[in-house]
Amino acid sequence: MELLMLLAAAAIFLGYCQTDEKVSFYGSSYIHFPVQEAKGSTNISFRFRTHLSDAILLLAAGKTDYCLIKLEAARLKFVESTPTDLSVRLMLMYSPLSTFPTSTIGTRDFIASPVLNQRRVHINLGAGESEIASPRGLTLNDLSWHEIHLVRQEANMTLQIDGIHITRTLLPGKFFVLNIVYGVFIGGQGEFHELFLGHTEYMRGCMADIIYNGANVIEYTKSRQGKSEASAVTWGCSKVFDATKKTEISFLEEGAFLSISRPISRTGSRWEFELKTTSEMGLLLYNAGQASHADYLGIELHEGKVRLLMNKGNGATELIHSLTVKDGKWHKVIIDFSPTIIGISIDEKPAERLNLPSGGNRYLDLAETLYIGGTELNKRARAIARGIKSGDRSYKGCLRNMLLDSSEIGLPDVKISQGIVAGCIWSYPCFEKRPCIPSATCSQVGVNSFECTCDQPHCVTSNYAESTTVS
Ligand SMILES: *[C@@H]1O[C@H](CO)[C@@H](O)[C@H](O)[C@H]1NC(C)=O
Ligand SMILES: *[C@@H]1O[C@H](CO)[C@@H](O)[C@H](O)[C@H]1NC(C)=O
């Protein structure tokens, strides 16, 4: 009995004192923490680090009320809205502000037209949305940890950053009860798509020790209590965010990809990279093109060879390089594509090229988003339908030294990533060390192990068995 009490006390103690609960967000991740409450006070604290200047950190959402904490131009903004009537709601959705001199419109001052056809203008000074921002000049997107404490009691609001920058505000208006029904979203707005929020960028970086009105969100979500949901996050703060352009990248699993935003010249581009893999298949690069054009570009591994498929408006042209690259060694690949010619060069050998059929468009009209190592779920079926055989298969292996038109690209440029880690952690003992006896079959297990299969008691060579602890 005493032991139980001691354990319970220890658990409570740990619950209160544990201050190292971290979570990583990758540009499309979020946590949904289901709470329903109507409160006159708000108490939120967390730490974060990111290189983004604009990102959503936390959203508590109700039918009309919401509380949003975001980064905007590297400053922290807290917006709380407790609209009290339909006119405010209307204003939030269809703001007619542009018809008024902007000098009369502050961040908390609303102009709405509840009786539109009588052209009556209702000016609502601060009864709905309140905003508080971090001090000007304090840059929060420097990848350092920043600590935020936000406390509101009725109209009194205090924002404290890193324990030293304190901003106090008295909110205008009379209605301070925040009515939350859809819960709290961290790092992104998830499936919550109300018009009044407008467009918000997802978080890419880490957050820690998130306490929302007394609830430890990370602990709650990690232990899968209630209906909390974590989408595409990982626990702990990933090393991916500390990487440089030189850092090698490992694509680990099905669904892995990264996306980078780079305009592609209409006259063509050159993409260079090095790869190390033993995979037969997998998507290396995909540009889905623009909605208004048929153009697209896919580069993939097919039967262990590099295959390029490009459409510039008059059908797809395919080029498969003759070399096999799936031998577990690094290979340097250079891809050239333009409206007239495509080419692949491997390991500094002369490029294999193909002229594109004449006709089609004069220029290439590709999209600004490059998907590397795989693509987003909602793009996969289309990619396959277009003839990209690995449209739904992620590349598994390592990439490094990527250059787009001679300028380095790497992990710091990534907008969204999934299933990748910083550094090349893939190694291929079957190819590198030949650990199995000649009659055995060696197969890769995980990212760096192997298994020898044969019809004898020992399938691993005696040399190999002696040099390691593996038996
Ligand atoms: C806000 O919450 C923190 C714990 O997360 C607590 O220490 C603090 O006293 C609370 N502040 C108010 C004013 O309730
Ligand atoms: C808000 O602040 C004022 C002045 O600082 C104080 O008199 C008042 O009691 C506070 N209200 C609440 C609800 O904390």
Q: What is the mean pLDDT of each run of 10 residues along the chain (471 residues)?
A: 45 47 96 93 96 95 89 92 51 39 34 33 45 90 96 90 92 78 94 73 96 94 84 96 97 97 95 97 97 94 98 94 97 97 96 91 94 97 97 98 97 97 96 92 94 93 70 41
User: 168 in ligand 2 pocket by Cβ < 6 Å?
Assistant: no
C-alpha 55 to ligand 1 mean position (Å): 25
Nearest CA to ligand 1 atom 7: 214
Residue 175 has what pLDDT? 66
Residue 368 has what pLDDT? 95
d(CA 154, CA 68) in angstroms, rounded, equals 17
Token pair 């390089």 is at which residue? 321
Residue 82 has what pLDDT? 75
Residue 92: count of CB within 10 angstroms of its CB: 21
Residue 176 has what pLDDT? 75
Nearest CA to ligand 1 atom 4: 214
d(CA 110, CA 98) in angstroms, rounded, equals 12
d(CA 39, CA 85) in angstroms, rounded, equals 18
C-alpha 257 to ligand 2 mean position (Å): 51
C-alpha 43 to ligand 1 mean position (Å): 6
Ligand 1 site: residues with CB under 6 angstroms? 43, 45, 151, 211
Closest C-alpha among 34, 6, 224, 43 to residue 148: 43
C-alpha 16 to ligand 2 mean position (Å): 28
Residue 83 has what pLDDT? 67
* Candidate of 17, 18, 43, 159 to mutate for ligand 1, largest count of ligand atoms within 8 Å of Cβ: 43
User: 290 in ligand 2 pocket by Cβ < 6 Å?
Assistant: no
Nearest CA to ligand 2 atom 12: 153
Secondary structure (H, E, C), the chain: CHHHHHHHHHHHHHHHHCCCCEEEEECCCEEEECCCEEECEEEEEEEEEECCCCEEEEEEECCCCEEEEEEECCEEEEEEECCCCHHHHHHHHCCCHHHCCHHHCCCCEEEECCCHHHCCCEEEECCCEEEEECCCCCCCCCCCCEEEEEEEECCEEEEEECCCEEEEEECCCCCCCEEECCEEEECCCCCCCCHHHCCCCCCEEEEEEEEECCEEHHHHHHCCCCCCEEECCEECCCHHHHCCCCCCEEECCCCCEEEEECCCCCCCEEEEEEEECCCCCEEEEEECCCCCCCCEEEEEEECCEEEEEEECCCCEEEEEEEEECCCCCCEEEEEEECCCEEEEEECCCCCEEEECCCCCCCCCCCCCEEEECCCCHHHHHHHHHCCCCCCCCECCEEEEEEEECCEEECHHHEEEEECEEECCCCCCHHHHCCCECCCCEEEEECCCEEEEECCCCCCECHHHHHHCCCC
Q: Is residue 454 a contact partner of residue 62, using CB atoms and an 8 Å limit?
A: no
Of all ligands present, the nearest one to the C-alpha of 170 is 2
* Candidate of 152, 156, 166, 170 to mutate for ligand 2, largest count of ligand atoms within 8 Å of Cβ: 156
d(CA 296, CA 293) in angstroms, rounded, equals 9
Residue 178 has what pLDDT? 87
Nearest CA to ligand 1 atom 10: 43
